[in-house]
Amino acid sequence: MAHNPPHTTTTGPRDLIDVYLGKLREEFHSTLDQSSEYREQLSTVHKELAVYKRAFDDLQLEKDKLGELKANTEKRCEELEKNQIKANRVVALIDGDGAIFDTTLIRQGQTGGHDAAKMLADHIKSHLFSTAGASDFQLWVYVFLNKRGLSDTLGRHGETVAKNKFEDFIIGFNQAAERFMMVDVGNAKEAADAKIKAILENELRMPQTMKVLFGGCHDNGYVTSLRSHITAGFKDKIILLPGYTEVANGISDLDIPLLTIPDLFVPEKFAPVGMAATNMAVSTAWAAVPMKKGATPRFPLAWARVSPRQRSTSPPGLDWGGSSESSEDADEILPGPPVPAIHKGTRHINPKLVKNPPPCTLFYLANCRHGTDCKYGHDYILNSEHYAEIQENAKKAPCPTTNKGELCTWGDNCCYGHKCPQTTKCFYLKLGRCRFIGSDMHKD
């Protein structure tokens, strides 16, 4: 920095030197003061830098940890997505009270159980491979049934060997594979239905489940549940596995693919065997009776006293006196009655006698749980006309289930009436005394 020397005439060179040295000294002192101030500022900056550096290092470390966590999370998500996309679980749900395994298999005991399980597994694998190209999956099979009830049904229909081997058949089926389970749910009403509906919902909602084979096609009580799952978007997961040849009304309308396995299940419902056996017995018993050529034997019935006000175009004397009345027994109707075999205690229709007690409707059309304690007759030998008349009279009594406003699982096969015979013209409906009290039971 240049300084002009002071203008004076009295100062000499020495004085000028002193002046300049003084100015220079001031400059040095100022510079030293500024240097000290800068050093303090620099020290402060270094301290702040150290703080920021430590914070940066901490953030960098946290960033590294978060990056590692992110990588692990992404890897886990990829694995989960891969597992979800590759659903490898196939479940078969079978209502064993309606989808009944073929008696030929049951009669073989444990061997039949093994064979039934193998047939089921082989057909499911073949079907899924041919329709979806699926070959790598786990198969789970649940069969729910009333073991005692089904065993008794087999016995009533003459399948004594199958009844005796039924326990062994169940053991063989359960031992066939670790994921095959045949479970006795007891005789509680709709016990199997409740379990099947619960498992059906859980399995359909699981992303790991590829397909669910539904083996309750005989019962239209499942229609509401199936339709709900279809609405929820699970239709593509469901395959129907019918036992009987005929699928229940409502289920057949759902447009769901079927897998039919020949010779695995009983193809038809156990028909009431009493009618066929009794017709044969009547024919045999009357074969020795001489008749005129072309004559038709008729057996006018006199099972109970007829009120003078009663009029009927059917054979005279056919008043069931309450034997056709519906009762809570109808809730326990089974697929067929015991065979009323001809023995010492049976009797033919005698038109000269009033029959007391009248024939039991449930015994001849379905199943009477009272057995020998029943107040109605189980020992009559009837022909086809008698059965037709029993059926006609039974339809005049309301079905207890339908009368409660509930869905009768027997549908058109129910021996009791689901509609009042007089429909909208019912005189007793106007008086509030008609026994048909369920909704829609008086509609045409």
Which H or E element spans position 275? helix 273-286
The C-alpha atoms of residue 169 and residue 105 are separated, in whole angstroms, by 8
The C-alpha atoms of residue 319 and residue 302 are separated, in whole angstroms, by 8
> Could you give phi then psi for residue 117, rounded to 5 degrees?
-65, -40
Encoding tokens for residue 268? 């038809």
pLDDT tens per residue, range 409-442 = 777 778 889 999 888 888 888 888 899 988 888 8
Per-residue pLDDT averaged across 2-21, rounded? 68
List CB contacts of 31: < 8 A, sequence separation 6 or more. Answer: none
pLDDT over 60 at 96, yes or no: yes
The C-alpha atoms of residue 196 and residue 216 are separated, in whole angstroms, by 9
Per-residue pLDDT averaged across 125-136, rounded? 87
The C-alpha atoms of residue 281 and residue 287 are separated, in whole angstroms, by 10
The C-alpha atoms of residue 383 and residue 124 are separated, in whole angstroms, by 45
The pLDDT of residue 325 is: 52
The single-letter code of the amino acid at 224 is T
- Residue 333 contacts residue 365 (beta carbons within 8 Å): no
Encoding tokens for residue 205? 């909602």
The C-alpha atoms of residue 154 and residue 215 are separated, in whole angstroms, by 20
pLDDT over 70 at 90, yes or no: yes
Per-residue pLDDT averaged across 368-374, rounded? 77
pLDDT tens per residue, range 292-351 = 333 333 333 333 333 333 333 333 333 444 455 554 454 444 444 444 433 444 555 554
- Residue 300 contacts residue 338 (beta carbons within 8 Å): no
- Residue 153 contacts residue 187 (beta carbons within 8 Å): no
Helices and strands (H and E) in the chain: how many: 12, 5
Which H or E element spans position 89? strand 89-95
pLDDT over 90 at 94, yes or no: yes
- Beta-sheet pairing, 209-215 with 238-240: parallel
Q: For residue 305, give the 3-state DSSP assignment.
A: coil
When pLDDT is cut at 50, 70 and 90, the band that residue 9 belongs to is low
**Spatial CA neighbour of 320 closest among 367, 278, 362, 292:** 362
Q: What is the DSSP letter of 262?
A: T
Burial 402-434 (b: 16+ CB within 10 A, else e): bbeeeebbbeeebbbbbbbeeeeebeebeeeeb
Q: How wide is the angle at C-alpha 86 spanned by C-alphas 85 and 88, nearest 5°?
A: 135
pLDDT over 80 at 88, yes or no: yes
**Spatial CA neighbour of 397 closest among 348, 444, 359, 434:** 434
Average pLDDT of the chain is 79
- How many other C-beta atoms lie within 10 A of the C-beta of residue 367? 20
Q: What is the separation, in whole angstroms, between the first and last Cα of the chain?
A: 123
pLDDT tens per residue, range 29-69 = 888 778 888 888 888 888 999 999 999 999 999 999 999 99
